Amino acid sequence: MEEVKVIEIKKSVFAENEKDADDLRTELKKRGVYLLNLMSSPGSGKTTTLIRTINLLKDKLRIAVMEADIDSNVDAVKIREATGIPSIQLHTGGMCHLDAEMTRQGLSNLDLEDVDLVILENVGNLVCPAEFDTGSCRNAMILSVPEGDDKPLKYPLMFSVCDVVVVNKTDVMPYFDFDLDKCREYVRMRNPKARVIPICAKTGEGVEVFADWLFREVRNWKNQ
């Protein structure tokens, strides 16, 4: 019988990525660039929310967007046309998430000297993106009303890594059994520090609250 030698490794498969992510954050801090990682399910209204938010902030901050999708460039084109800001599309080549290395490659396609805020629109998915640190300064996620108020219970990791939970499509709340107070409670169970911001991206209601939060974040990041 063939002899076997065992080599002990004892290493988390996420360890390498976590180190890459920390390095990237340190570099961004030095260059005064704030990176927001925005996550959600497909169809939650990420792109519409971004367009509204960018239009509120683009006179105060220099903004760029990186759109991550498995395929196509429809989102990058939509953002560029609606806001006039630089927007690039990243293809994950079938992967369900972005990691720090892929984020770094994406950033290398932007002129960071002319940018204060980069928004990374992660792949629409509530599982994998939560698992991989992109090197962002903060994580935000959008939960839309039709998805249900119990999502924080079903996808605990996603809600525990987010600093802000934007609840979108509040205009259709009467048509769904969505209880905003319950939703807040479920988010708090997973992450007591997360802030919940209800908005309606379609009408613009509440978007200024999210934009103000983001503006203050970027200013603090640059000044600290």
Binding site for another protein (CB under 8 A): 2-14, 16-17, 94-97, 127-128, 131-132, 157, 189
Length of the chain: 224
Shortest Å, Cβ 127 to another protein: 6
Residue 77 or residue 189: which is nearer to another protein going by CB?
Answer: 189
Using DSSP, state whether 115 is helix, strand or coil: coil
Residue 132 or residue 178: which is nearer to another protein going by CB?
Answer: 132
Distance CA 156, CA 116 (A): 31
Shortest Å, Cβ 49 to another protein: 25
Shortest Å, Cβ 154 to another protein: 11
Residue 4 or residue 174: which is nearer to another protein going by CB?
Answer: 4
Shortest Å, Cβ 141 to another protein: 16
Residues 66 and 223 sit within 8 Å (Cβ to Cβ): no
Distance CA 16, CA 8 (A): 17
Classify strands 164-168 and 63-69 as parallel, antiparallel or unpaired: unpaired
Packing angle, helices 74-83 and 46-57, rounded to 10 = 30
Residue 14 or residue 175: which is nearer to another protein going by CB?
Answer: 14
Distances (CA, A) of 167 to 94, 112, 136, 140, 213: 28, 30, 21, 11, 15
Residue 6 or residue 30: which is nearer to another protein going by CB?
Answer: 6
Distance CA 73, CA 136 (A): 22
Shortest Å, Cβ 221 to another protein: 29
Residue 13 or residue 114: which is nearer to another protein going by CB?
Answer: 13
Shortest Å, Cβ 92 to another protein: 9
DSSP string of 141-191?
EEEEGGG-TTHHHHSHHHHHH-SEEEEE-GGGGGGTT--HHHHHHHHHHH-
